[in-house]
Amino acid sequence: MEFLEGMEFLGIPVINTRAVTELLLMFALNILVTAIIVGGLYYKKSKRRDYVYTFMLISTTVFLLMFALGKTKLEMGLALGMFAIFGIVRYRTDTVPIREMTYLFVIIGVSVLNGLDTRESLVQSLLTNFLFVLMVWIMVSMKFMNRTACKLVVYEKIKLITPEHREEMLEDIKARTGLDVVKIEIGHIDFLKDIAFVKVYYKSESTEVNTVDNITKVSQFNG
């Protein structure tokens, strides 16, 4: 490619070997780190392939965009503004769970840092990405934290929802679900159908994310 160095087409250099090398190197690093976070840490627990697809493409899009615009010497305020725009990505059809939103912010953060031309050394870039992966791994692997999950239950024993029967209701839910229930919250009450929507919090030994509760929609619930 040496013969192409210095050549221009319509005033644009045909090739910049240093820039191309930097693009390929940082793109490979960004994809590797994203794959570790998404594939090795997120998917291992959630088993949700739809978000893996989304995270990987968002990471690629943000990185390439920031890398291209980084060459124009963006002001930091504009860069942060773009980060905020990407950060408020929402889906019209489904509400993104808080866990997935957190991963989305992490992926965007990694891609923005890798894409922006603010690196002082390769070691700095490697260390920054390592710290991202390390923190995600620590938070995912913490064994000392109590794992509390929640379910939305349609409860038909309407007479037990009163405060004076709360303990009896708690024991009834424990017996019928077999869960180690620690707390309940009563939401929407339908006296016509004699049902109440109850959010049940329980201790979970499972390390996987319960995706069924995430995709179950009860728009009437006001808990």
pLDDT tens, 87-139? 555 544 456 677 888 888 899 888 888 887 666 677 888 888 899 999 988 88
Nearest to residue 151, comparing CAs of 205, 211, 100, 194? Answer: 211
Q: Are residues 92 and 12 in the same domain?
A: yes
Measure the N-to-C terminal CA separation of the chain; round to a whole number of Å: 64
Instruction: Judge whether 155 lies within some domain.
Output: yes
Shared domain check, 112 and 160: no
Residue 145 dihedral angles phi and psi, to the nearest 5°? -85, 140
The pLDDT tens digits of the residues spanning 158-192 come to: 888 888 888 899 999 999 888 888 888 888 888 88
Q: What is the pLDDT of residue 48?
A: 78
Tokens of 119: 């690196």
Q: How many domains does the chain have?
A: 2
User: Would you state the pLDDT for residue 223?
Assistant: 42
Q: Could you give the C-alpha distances from 83 to 23, 45, 115, in angstroms and in order?
A: 20, 27, 12
No. of helices (H) and no. of strands (E), the chain: 8, 5
Residue 221 lies in a domain: no
Domain membership flag for residue 200: yes
pLDDT at residue 84, as a whole number = 61
Query: Where is 12: in which H helix or E strand?
Result: strand 12-13
- Count CB neighbours of 55 within 10 A: 24
Which domain covers residue 87, as residue numbers?
A: 2-141
Span 82-86, average pLDDT = 58
Which pLDDT band holds residue 74 (cuts at 50, 70, 90)?
low
Say yes or no: 97 and 33 in one domain.
yes
Counting residues of the chain whose pLDDT is more than 90, the rounded percentage is 11
Q: Are residues 28 and 104 in the same domain?
A: yes
Tokens 């919090």, residue? 201
